[in-house]
Amino acid sequence: MFWLWYVPRHLSPDRRAQALAGIPGSHPLEAALAAAATGQLLDALQLCAAPLSGQDENQRVLLRAALLTEAAQVPAARTLLLDHLPLCVHDQWDRAAAALLLAELALAEADLSGALAWCRVADEATTYTAARPLRLPSDLLRARLCAAQGEGAQATARLQQARRRVRNPTDDLQWRDAEAAVSLANGDPVRSVMALATAQAATPCALHRARLQERRQQAQQTPSGPVSRQPARPSRIEVILLSGLHLRVDGEERASPRDALTLLLLAYLILHDGADLAATADLILPPARTGRGSDARRDAARLRGLIARARHLLADPAVILVRGGAVSLDRQHTWTTDLTAALAPPGPTLPAWLTAPWIDDLRGPPGGV
The whole-number pLDDT of residue 355 equals 62
pTM tops 0.85, yes or no:
no
The whole-number pLDDT of residue 289 equals 44
pLDDT at 206 over 50: yes
The whole-number pLDDT of residue 329 equals 92
DSSP 161-182: HHHTT--SHHHHHHHHHHHHHH
Q: For all residues of the chain together, what is the average pLDDT?
A: 86
Report d(CA 63, CA 348) in Å as an integer: 52
Q: Does residue 225 lie within any of the structural domains? A: no
Share of the chain above pLDDT 70, in %: 88
- The mean pLDDT value for 313-326 works out to 81
Share of the chain above pLDDT 90, in %: 50
Under 8 Å CB-to-CB from 340, ≥6 apart: which residues?
270, 271
Q: Parallel, antiparallel, or unpaired for β 326-329 and 275-276?
A: antiparallel
Within this chain, do residues 353 and 210 fall inside the same structural domain, yes or no?
Answer: no
Among 220, 244, 263, where does a domain finish?
220
Q: Does residue 368 lie within any of the structural domains? A: no
101-148 per-position pLDDT tens digit? 999 988 877 788 889 999 999 999 999 999 999 999 999 999 999 988
Which of 200, 359, 363 lies closest to 283 in space, CA to CA?
A: 359
Domain span at residue 341?
Answer: 236-363
Q: Which residue(s) pair with 236 in the sheet?
A: 334
Q: Does residue 230 lie within any of the structural domains? A: no
Domain of 327, CATH number, reads 1.10.10.10
Within this chain, do residues 36 and 155 fall inside the same structural domain, yes or no?
Answer: yes
260-318 per-position pLDDT tens digit? 888 989 999 998 888 888 888 888 887 654 444 457 777 877 888 888 888 888 878 77
Radius of gyration of the chain (CA): 22
Which of 278, 245, 244 lies closest to 262 in space, CA to CA?
A: 245
Q: Is the CB of residue 247 less than 8 Å from the CB of residue 313? A: yes
Within this chain, do residues 141 and 71 fall inside the same structural domain, yes or no?
Answer: yes
The whole-number pLDDT of residue 119 equals 95
